[in-house]
Structure 1
Amino acid sequence: MKIRSFFRNSRLFKDEAGSYSLEAALVAPISALLVAGVAFLLIASAQSSLTYITANESSERISQHWNNSYKHPVTGMFSTFQRDPLFWRWNQDSSSAWLWGGEAGETSSLVRLPAGDSSDGSILSRKLSGGAAGWPAAYRGAGSFRGIGWNREVAVEAAVPLSLPGGFGLPDAAGGRSTKSIAEPAEFIRNVELALGYVPALKAVIEGDKFRNLLSPWVDKPDIVPDVDRTLSFRHHSDAVRYLRTLVRGQERRIGTEETGKWRLIDAMDKHEVAHQTYIGPKQPNKDVRDQLMKDAELIRKGKVKGVVWHFFRRTGDATAGPSPALKKLLQDNGIVFVIHS
């Protein structure tokens, strides 16, 4: 009882002087640690976003400049006298893997970025090394290529060390990764035309069973090689569109436009974001065709598609097909590839 009375009546325990100082001494360090921790996490998050942006930009440049390793990695400029060897794809790029079925043609390559002297000097290494152009000095990473037949892609990883206090479970580096597919409309068309030209020639000189065994990786897969014996002429535009969608494995898509009209209907958009358009019979640069051309040029210029290919087929009963000389020039001037199927 005396002890309880002492604590109840003592001025020492009734006086509140110094309580604010005690609270501040306890709360201030905790608040400072929380604020510092949030700031460090924001720094790490920002660096992760920056490394992803850098990796995405680098992979985009590599995929767009894939057809010529001498192109400037940022601007894409190059001299007309500087080109890769004619047949470099046959043993390095896996584009010809369709000749032996696909899996046997798998190709891969890895380059540390920035490459410096570590590059082996091959064409693939030179193409991947350009991905580090314009990187900050502290950035490190890697560029890789993987290709199986026509399915080819490049990946870029970028990382930067973080100078954050240790012992708090904070990351010591921030990184990002981006993967892009390689789309080369002209090379794709050349390979398709090569297959369509050589398959009937081989079939004519090789016995049926031997021919089927030679092409078994492909003839056993539906819709890989179209019917090459078919006469490529169509009575209706819709028939040609269906054939083209099977050929490029594409789907119809509608994309909005701003400069010409309100939208552009894509007959077949393939997985590489290349737009394929279908035309029957001879074509002149009339108003309707010019409007379609300007829409496609706008889509290319604004990056809404990776490329545009116009396919010209013969109309049934008509031996002529394709663009007129004036239309050819307009297509070439606007970066549109055209193919005349006969």
Structure 2
Amino acid sequence: MRHSCRPRFRSSEQGSFTIEASLVFPLLLFCAITLLFVSLYAYQNVYLQQIARTAAERLAFSWDNSHKDLMTGNYHPAENDGLYFRLTQNNVSDLFGRLVSNGATEIVLPSEDAKGLVERKLVRISPLLPQGVTGTAKFSNYLLDQQVEVRLQKAFHLSPVMSRWFNANQTGGRAVSHVVEPVELIRITDITRTYFRAIKDRISPQKAREALVEPANGNLAGPSITIKSERQAAAYLRSLVGGSEVVLITESGKSRTIDALDARGISHQAFYSLTESQLRAEQMPKDVELLNEGTQVKGVVWHFFKKNANEKSVPSNSFRKELERKGIVVVIHN
């Protein structure tokens, strides 16, 4: 009887599904968990790479002026890093970094401590980093190639077993962005082409060093000019922008006299004694119409001249914001 049961047990399929499932399910579960952790690891790597790339690009974009907003690029015209910061405070000594032990400027992120101008520029990216993200920011100046490098890392939490298997306790991202200054390049090229022949062999090294002294802020404003009338303000504006007075007709048939239309098609208007109600009712609608038309003028700038230094802000803040919303740039002359 005992021998007759063995063939039936071997040929019976009862319980085979349970046995197969018990053997295959742990393998499938392990593969699913592994795929989940690999996906999370890859996502966090890509996430940090994108943050590093964005941080490097924003630092490189705003490198010419540390007062620029990293998000919008806006800055006040009176705020700058000085005329000769590229020669004295921009790590020019990095050019000799391969000859002597002089490395590039590097800071730890996030950080609030900054000594020189380069460190103050690099540390500005700290508030934009998400919580838990650390790393470094480095600036290297090789004259024709100025680089901003950002390295970021973030802890990646795994179970002890998975951590031993994959040896992945943190993720990281790295990005390098090159500082490009087209305006500065054009300015240097024009200066070289225009004045190189004139000053060649005509200036001593001592005088050349004296010429690179940072000018005082008071010397940047130029000669003082007193404006006493609307006509005088318009004449000064034409000489300032190199424009000419023209009369344009809007689409609605209204006549608009432009105080100074420069070579780029920018309309400049001088205001000395008009009130905000007059400007809002008469002048602003015409300029907004010309702006929306976009063919006769490419932009509109309103210049306000104060009658005296103690005069309150003209225009008011609310009217100035209204003008800026409509696309009109406001410049106030003291």
Bin of the TM-score, shorter chain as denominator length: 0.5 to 0.7
Return the letter of the residue paired with 2:111. A
- 1:30 is displaced (CA, Å) by 0.8
Partner of 1:24: 21
Mapped to 1, the partners of 2:94 and 2:140 lie a distance apart of: 13
Matched, 1:154 2:148: yes
Mapped to 2, the partners of 1:97 and 1:172 lie a distance apart of: 34
Alignment of 1:89-238 (within 5 A): 89-93=86-90, 108-116=104-112, 119-165=113-159, 166-196=163-193, 199-201=196-198, 203-205=200-202
Mapped to 2, the partners of 1:16 and 1:44 lie a distance apart of: 43
Alignment of 1:78-93 (within 5 A): 78-93=75-90
1:64 to 33, 37, 61: 61
Mapped to 1, the partners of 2:164 and 2:124 lie a distance apart of: 38
User: SS of the residue aligned with 1:180?
Assistant: strand
Greater C-alpha Rg:
2
Return the letter of the residue paired with 2:57. E
Return the letter of the residue paired with 2:138. S
- 1:140 is displaced (CA, Å) by 1.1
Change (3 A) 1:122 1:96: closer
- 1:9 is displaced (CA, Å) by 4.4
Deviations 1:185-210 (A, max 9, x none): 22223333444456435533489xxx
1:327 to 253, 264, 267: 264
**1:73–1:133 CA contact under 8 A, matched in 2:** no
Mapped to 2, the partners of 1:206 and 1:70 lie a distance apart of: 35
Mapped to 2, the partners of 1:28 and 1:203 lie a distance apart of: 84
- 1:168 is displaced (CA, Å) by 2.0
**2:141–2:147 CA contact under 8 A, matched in 1:** yes
Partner of 1:222: none
- 1:153 is displaced (CA, Å) by 1.7
Mapped to 1, the partners of 2:91 and 2:190 lie a distance apart of: 17
Deviations 1:6-60 (A, max 9, x none): 4884444343332222211111111100000011111111111111111111111
**2:91–2:104 CA contact under 8 A, matched in 1:** no
User: SS of the residue aligned with 1:204?
Assistant: coil
User: SS of the residue aligned with 1:144?
Assistant: strand
Q: For structure 1, list consecutive stretches of 5 or more residues without a partner in the other structure.
A: 208-283, 285-323, 335-342
**1:89–1:96 CA contact under 8 A, matched in 2:** no
Alignment of 1:48-63 (within 5 A): 48-63=45-60
Mapped to 1, the partners of 2:136 and 2:48 lie a distance apart of: 12
**2:151–2:174 CA contact under 8 A, matched in 1:** yes
CA RMSD of aligned residues (A): 3.9
**1:94–1:107 CA contact under 8 A, matched in 2:** no
Give the TM-score, by structure 1 length: 0.53
Return the letter of the residue paired with 1:173. Q
**1:90–1:96 CA contact under 8 A, matched in 2:** no
Mapped to 2, the partners of 1:132 and 1:186 lie a distance apart of: 28
**2:94–2:141 CA contact under 8 A, matched in 1:** no
Q: For structure 2, list consecutive stretches of 5 or more residues without a partner in the other structure.
A: 205-243, 245-260, 268-296, 301-334
| Fraction of identical pairs, as percent | 23
Change (3 A) 1:199 1:97: farther
Mapped to 1, the partners of 2:3 and 2:104 lie a distance apart of: 84
Change (3 A) 1:96 1:169: closer
- 1:65 is displaced (CA, Å) by 0.8
**2:156–2:168 CA contact under 8 A, matched in 1:** yes
Deviations 1:46-93 (A, max 9, x none): 111111111111111111111111222223333344322332211232
Return the letter of the residue paired with 1:147. N
2:44 to 28, 47, 71: 47
- 1:180 is displaced (CA, Å) by 1.3
User: SS of the residue aligned with 1:168?
Assistant: helix
Deviations 1:74-132 (A, max 9, x none): 2333334432233221123257999x9x989x98211211123xx33211111111223
